[in-house]
Amino acid sequence: MVSVSSSYVLRQPTTITRHLLSSTRHVCCFPHVPPRLPTPFKYQFQIVNLSIAGSRVTETEMEVNGGAVSDPETIRSQFLQLLRTRRNAQLPLTVEPAKPVVKPLFQDVTPPTFSEAMESCPKANIGNLKELLKEENLYLHTEAGDQGKLPVLILSTKGNNQEKRPAVVFLHSTHKCKEWLRPLLEAYASRGYVAIGVDSRYHGERASSLTTYRDALVSSWKNGDTMPFIFDTVWDLIKLADYLTGRDDIDPTKIGITGESLGVAAPIIGVQGFRWAIDNDKWQARVDSIKAVFEEARTDLGKNEIDKEVVEKVWDRIAPGLASQFDAPNTVPAIAPRPLLIVNGAEDPRCPLEGLEIPKTRAYEAYGEAHSDNFKLVAEPGIGHQMTPLMVKEASDWFDQFLK
């Protein structure tokens, strides 16, 4: 949903799952926290189901003490607790062979054909790269049900099977799929990485029509049983991390994650403050990107137009905590001291730069307390919600700096 490039590096294999949780969504999935008060206070944060009639049924209740941001471990624990409230039956993590996708499904009215930004990604000068590429297609079963089947595309170069390499996971943007990421996967593979692309929930092989994602969002609003906007895919990424750290060809201390718009860790146009957007009436561009669910909610709530109340209730329903406990001001600093790059367009209406001031300030404080300078935010002048060659280069250099 956002097109920023954010680079996140995982470095402690024994806690990789928690690392992924700490990045939960760099399209801003961390909450705005009340300002620091002069005296200690306590408030309760509720994740609720909102019925169409407006009644509130508490699923889980979280408590934060004091006026400061919750500590990273608390945030991760609470987020994992939330993810588990809407999971299907748990299964052992299993791997199933798959075949290459011949005709990828794009949920755009006009399917995309070329990305200058992705094609510009730095690559090694290898004349016969296509011949040297090793391609793997597989499914990871992350939970029961059709959406618990995670399609994975892995590219690397043929060579010494005993060599452990750095790895980078890539997420596609809204309505696209892992095959769209191939130029990036090939470029990173040429430079010695194991490059991994996945289909987000209700996208690519996990979609059956041009409206699958839209229908899932509407269903989430109606039924409150899934979290198709970002959160369900985070569950898949946790399971993917478990799988990748066990592979013989991947160095478990050198795993990064990035993506366009729906990106996590090294988000390219993917970090925003949801609470800030609501409070400052800057939510329209984000809402327009998945408008169907907000129109459905507007009708159900008896409104003549989409307003702040509709927006907030939709977020509370389909992604609980997105505009509160798990919004950027809490989650971005929780990544410290691990390397984090955020790349946004300075004029991006979906990820307004002004909404990143609090997350940025808190991140610099967190990294400073950790005596680390591994945080960087780049805002490309004159650019809206789009990925650019500069963003791709920034992310590429970031990974080379910390993973190679």
pLDDT tens figures, 327-380: 999 999 999 999 999 999 999 999 999 999 999 999 999 999 999 999 999 999
Q: Which residues pair with 126 in a beta bridge?
A: none
Question: What confidence score (pLDDT) does residue 36 get?
Answer: 28
Q: Show Cβ contacts of residue 146 under 8 Å, excluding neighbours closer than 6 positions.
A: 206
Rounded distance between C-alpha atoms, residue 42 and residue 362, angstroms: 21
Distances (CA, A) of 109 to 106, 112, 205, 210: 8, 9, 17, 8
pLDDT, residue 37, reads 26
| Residue 28 DSSP one-character state | T
Q: Which residue has the tokens 């075949």?
A: 99
State residue 58's pLDDT score: 37
Say how far apart CA 177 and CA 171 lie, in whole Å: 8
Nearest C-alpha neighbor of 250 from the set 169, 311, 180: 169
Report pLDDT for 135. 98
Q: What residues of the chain score a pLDDT lower than 50?
A: 1-6, 10-68, 263
Strands 149-157 and 266-268: unpaired
- Which stretch of DSSP H or E encloses residue 401? helix 389-403
Whole-number pLDDT of residue 159: 81
C-beta atoms surrounding 38 within 10 Å: 6
Q: Which helix (H) or strand (E) holds 60?
A: strand 56-65
The pLDDT value recorded for residue 45 is 34
Short-list 220, 222, 168, 205, CA closest to 190: 168
Amino acid at 365: E
SS3 104: coil
The predicted model scores a pTM of 0.84
- What pLDDT was estimated at residue 13? 37
pLDDT at position 392:
96
Single-letter amino acid, residue 225:
D
